[in-house]
Structure 1
Amino acid sequence: MSAATSIPRIPWGRAERCVETTLLELVAAVSDECESEAEVVATVLHLLGSGRARLCGSFRNASLRDLVRD
């Protein structure tokens, strides 16, 4: 198998379970696995936008736009 061989994508099913967490807990957990701040931000936004994670606590009603505002 050569290095140029593409690996087929495995389709993701619908999230059966949504993790409810605070923004701080989510960022801390993702930070443990990511190598850069940009990767943390992208992953957190993906988890929230896809519905795989839902915020509770102070940011429970915040939109994604509110979370990334400067």
Structure 2
Amino acid sequence: MQAQDPTQIAHLLAELRQEHRDLDAAIEQLAQAVGRDELQITRLKKRKLLLKDTIARLESKLIPDLDA
């Protein structure tokens, strides 16, 4: 999805931030489990990092370009 409108970008950012928080909670819960699945934890951490990069990229789109 290529969101260009600042309103669309802000909405997408909110969704991605929520997913990032949800992944954080899931990772914490899996890490606390007795028979924890390290592979699943690693996959969730990678997904969380991808989300973080996507969020940073979208946030930079909201910053107006200034001519020097």
Same fold at TM > 0.5: no
- Using the size of structure 1 for normalisation, the TM-score is 0.30
Structure number having the greater helix percentage: 2
Greater RCO (CA < 8 Å, at least 6 residues apart): 2
